[in-house]
Amino acid sequence: MRRFEATQLVSRLAGESPIVSNLGPTSDELWHAGHRDRNFYTYGNMGLCSSIALGMAIGTDEQVISLDGDGSMLMNLGTVASIGREQPKNLTVIVWDNEKWGQTGGQTSHTGMGTDLEQVARSCGITHTKTVTDLEDLEAAVSEALASSDGPNFIVAKIEEAGYLSVAPVEPEFTLYRFRNTFVEPRQPGD
């Protein structure tokens, strides 16, 4: 499955839900799939996409979606343990797993050498997990996850790339400003 088509699918299924996206082509493709102010594009550093989404999910009752990458998740596997520990019911992590650090030259990542991120998630106490390889199964998995109030959900989506789209014209400060302005009534302490 091609990541851009998969991204278009997730963007459509997400409705108004916040989406946090991994750096580089994942964020570029999310922007090309149709910019929404509820897209939180990350740029520059690896490993924090699902950490940001975890914090967001703890702070809201809305469904939050993380579009992470295999290489970036491998750089901060502790995030998976934190998600397993916190058990946010409204968080869905999707890992675009191309089995490589694509943006820096396509070096094979650990997932291309046997590391199974779904099993990592399960061993961290995340029970709603799936690995999908086509758009049909991705649609079923994401639809089920977003309709559920029993997260966290963890979906490994095996993807291919077909050349990069142009870099999205987004700036971190504006992303933060636009995103915060759309945020709906954060939970208050004691709620």
Ligand X SMILES: Cc1ncc(C[n+]2csc(CCOP(=O)(O)OP(=O)(O)O)c2C)c(N)n1
To the nearest whole angstrom, how small is the minimum distance from the Cβ of residue 23 to Mg ion?
11
* Residue 62 touches which member of ligand X, Mg ion, none, C-beta under 5-8 Å by kind: none
- Among 18, 84, 102, 152, interactor with ligand X by CB under 6 A: 102
Name the helix (H) or strand (E) containing 179: helix 172-182
Quick check: 23 binds ligand X (CB under 6 A)?
yes
CA distance 101 to 77: 15
Give the full edge-to-edge strand order of the sheet including 153-158: 39-41, 19-21, 64-69, 91-97, 153-158, 128-132
* Residue 46 touches which member of ligand X, Mg ion, none, C-beta under 5-8 Å by kind: ligand X
Each as own residue / partner, the long-range contacts of residues 172-176 (CB below 8 Å, 24 or more positions apart, any chain) are 172/41, 172/42, 172/43, 172/44, 175/39, 175/40, 175/41, 176/40
Shorter beta-carbon distance to ligand X: residue 3 or 38: 3
Q: With contacts defined by CB under 6 A, name the span among 94-102, 142-150, 165-173, 178-186 that binds ligand X.
A: 94-102
Tokens matching residue 7 = 């991204």
Quick check: 51 binds ligand X (CB under 6 A)?
no
Site for ligand X in 103-162 (CB under 6 A): 103-104
Quick check: 87 binds ligand X (CB under 6 A)?
no
CA distance 70 to 19: 17
Residues found near ligand X in the complex (CB under 6 A): 22-26, 45-46, 69-72, 98, 100-104
Residues found near Mg ion in the complex (CB under 5 A): 69-71, 98, 102
